[in-house]
Structure 1
């Protein structure tokens, strides 16, 4: 198993960092270029829509507590389901890992990833609504595999299959095993602080049972649970972080200086936190940023495709908020707590001032240590947050993987897959090679990101066309996509080659 994870580490380093072993092959990783490049392209061609439409999107979310149009769950619950996948161990263990691998500067590149990611999130989620399908059983199905199939045509069916296989792999690694493993770490550490020895398998049994209760009811059950838990847990965690930050106000300016300095190498040049280069910060920040907010990866659109809405533009704007809330708010809170709380943390026979500098701590243990020093009962705050974050991520990713499995083999696989997913949740609690698991998760994320990025770029003209159409008229005619940026929709009854359902479409 160790040899497997060693190989996974080398492949992950190449994809995300451009290195193979001790040799640098590329200045930055392939995934870094694909992710930031795609987000930048959409940010520009959409006229910086994520920045201009951020506050109106919150209004659309509030009015979306009740659905309007066909779908299975309200726009509010669709975002909550997407957030259940986004807000997970990446917000706790992932942030700590980013700082450990890339220094405080990695947080800056998490912000950049999120900023560009909001544009990618708008594009992929609006496409998911535009090209979704309603199957004979009454359920809605959508996501990258469907906008590849219905937007690009039959000749690209292989790309849809490739995305689905990558998603299932990513779901098992990052949406299931890593989440279960991280909550197990927190439970064991919290128990140890009270002199209680909690075995991993016991955590696994409880977690698996709770997962089964929720996911056996499908997307409506998942959406209802996520719609109630996500707002509560996010607010509670933010309040706890704010308490720590208010009691450490004098350290906050220095934390921001470390983030900005580390991002551009100023800390190294000034003789500060030596050993963390700019490329290391970029690699760690982008990888952990994607792991946290999933923008451009293609997972969240599967949830947004189930929204009760007639408007892909509005749902796309609501989807942008998931990235903003996840990274710009929750991840930033975690990072600042880790960077401002001082203590005496064990490391290689001595002590260090900050938990992230300790060689004896990793992943969620760093976040737990910082909160324990920063407030009374901090370890239990992290345990509660970790448990809820991981639990909601596991149930959210179960739906993503299920949708991809049914796309490949048929709708009959839905319920059998739910039983298999319970085993994934249990098995993740027993894994001991945490670092290797994170690196394998990076590979899994890349395996679904690349097909999605290709599809997004090929359909970029469609996204711009219906976005401009909506901005101009306030409505979108049914079954109209637009094949280029300036195309106007045809009059009723005329051939529409941009509509995959029309006989004049090239894929027909």
Structure 2
């Protein structure tokens, strides 16, 4: 391993240490307790909002509540739900899954606050277009003396949402599961195949992102629900086949979370750290990137978007990640030598011999593409904040070039940099959210009070 790879890997390990874990988890617990669990009570209302029951003409923003959630989910529903869960189990043991669940539950409260702030404190970019996201929350909500914190988020967001990890893992699974078995390339000499595949993926992403957030939202709002249903159905069939192992594996997840016996090093602390880290990568609660998507929602009611955002950790961690974890555990492949995306592939191949690898490849393809679409949007917004919205179009070509580079190169150093920058993003996001939490609850209490009065009125009218 080169010196630069060691440096960035150590940087990522340092950033994802105990202080950041405490900031994300304890910060989420604070939001839960400070809100007195009030947002959780109104989760059914979030479903009504998604269904368009409260969509009316007017309101600032570019996309609907549903499209905002789909765009945010397309950034979280990706390789983190497949590769990330496999890594969590490989390094932290089955108990890491339990701490991913904990991160998701407290992360729901965090997302309520961060997404509400993304609407409350939208700001105008240098071209006069209304934007949302942590850097605008900091600038508009905390004042210009906090601008260095906003710049820190924008820089970390720009670096943390580079596409190299997604494209590298996507090309790997296409090559290993499809191309090599079909004789299209070899396991040892695959540069030309990787290059051609990378160019094709770059062209596909470029064609979609040329339509900006509206086209991305349109693609993801169609793609994400389809992929979630496809993956859940595929995993459900697998779990039915191994149903007798499910109770034992669920028990193992809980007991190992507090014993750490299956973790590398055998320490409970290692289980918690890896579980929280992978949970944060899975649902991005407290990281701040999802606020860039929710900040584009067409609404003037911050509490509504906060409630919608709470559904994100439910879908991507409590449902999709749990599906992946159980598939890996009940089939027993987690005790073998495979790791990363190959471990998940082994689980589905064990259940569907000769077909499982292809099914997972289809899933990874669409999830990786959707993640890269959302990551481009996040990176371009951060670029616009740093150097001006009139110059952010330069980022398109930088991003597309990195897709090609990521397809053909082993980028361990860059992946360490991306992991570390994800952690850096949490610092300005959580700091600003903690400082502005009272303003969120002030607006939320008014909204919930008016909503309850409206429901009481409707009940009286229906009874009459």
Distance 2:235 2:206 in 1: 31
Q: 1:322 to 1:165 in 2, by over 3 A?
A: same
Matched, 1:56 2:49: no
- Aligned length in residues: 443
For residues 253-402 of structure 1, the aligned pairs below 5 Å read: 253-265=247-259, 268=261, 275-342=265-332, 354=333, 356-359=334-337, 361-376=338-353, 377-402=355-380
Matched, 1:459 2:436: yes
Tell me which protein shows more helix as a share of its residues: 2
- Note the residue ranges of structure 2 that are not aligned, 5 or more in a row: 453-464
- The answer to whether the 8 A contact 2:134-2:153 is kept is yes
Tell me the C-alpha RMSD between the 2 structures.
2.0
For residues 185-264 of structure 1, the aligned pairs below 5 Å read: 185-190=172-177, 191-197=179-185, 199-264=193-258
- The answer to whether the 8 A contact 2:48-2:54 is kept is no
Distance 1:51 1:474 in 2: 15
Bigger mean CA deviation after superposition, 33-42 or 424-433: 424-433
Bigger mean CA deviation after superposition, 407-416 or 332-341: 407-416
Picking from 133, 145, 155, the partner of 2:145 is 155
Q: 1:212 to 1:474 in 2, by over 3 A?
A: same
Q: Look up the SS of the partner of 1:58 in the other structure.
A: helix
Q: Look up the SS of the partner of 1:95 in the other structure.
A: helix
Distance 2:214 2:382 in 1: 17
- The answer to whether the 8 A contact 2:110-2:286 is kept is yes
Q: Look up the SS of the partner of 1:297 in the other structure.
A: coil
- Note the residue ranges of structure 1 that are not aligned, 5 or more in a row: 18-28, 343-353, 476-508
- The answer to whether the 8 A contact 1:65-1:76 is kept is no
- The answer to whether the 8 A contact 2:49-2:55 is kept is no
Q: 1:357 to 1:203 in 2, by over 3 A?
A: farther
TM value normalised by structure 2: 0.91
Distance 1:455 1:136 in 2: 22
Picking from 417, 436, 445, the partner of 1:468 is 445
Distance 1:112 1:161 in 2: 30
Q: 1:67 to 1:244 in 2, by over 3 A?
A: farther
- The answer to whether the 8 A contact 2:32-2:106 is kept is yes
TM value normalised by structure 1: 0.83
Partner residue, 1:498 = none
- The answer to whether the 8 A contact 2:74-2:220 is kept is yes
Partner residue, 2:88 = 98
Partner residue, 2:462 = none
Q: 1:157 to 1:138 in 2, by over 3 A?
A: closer
Q: Look up the SS of the partner of 1:276 in the other structure.
A: coil
- The answer to whether the 8 A contact 1:79-1:319 is kept is yes
Cα drift, residue 445 of structure 1: 0.6
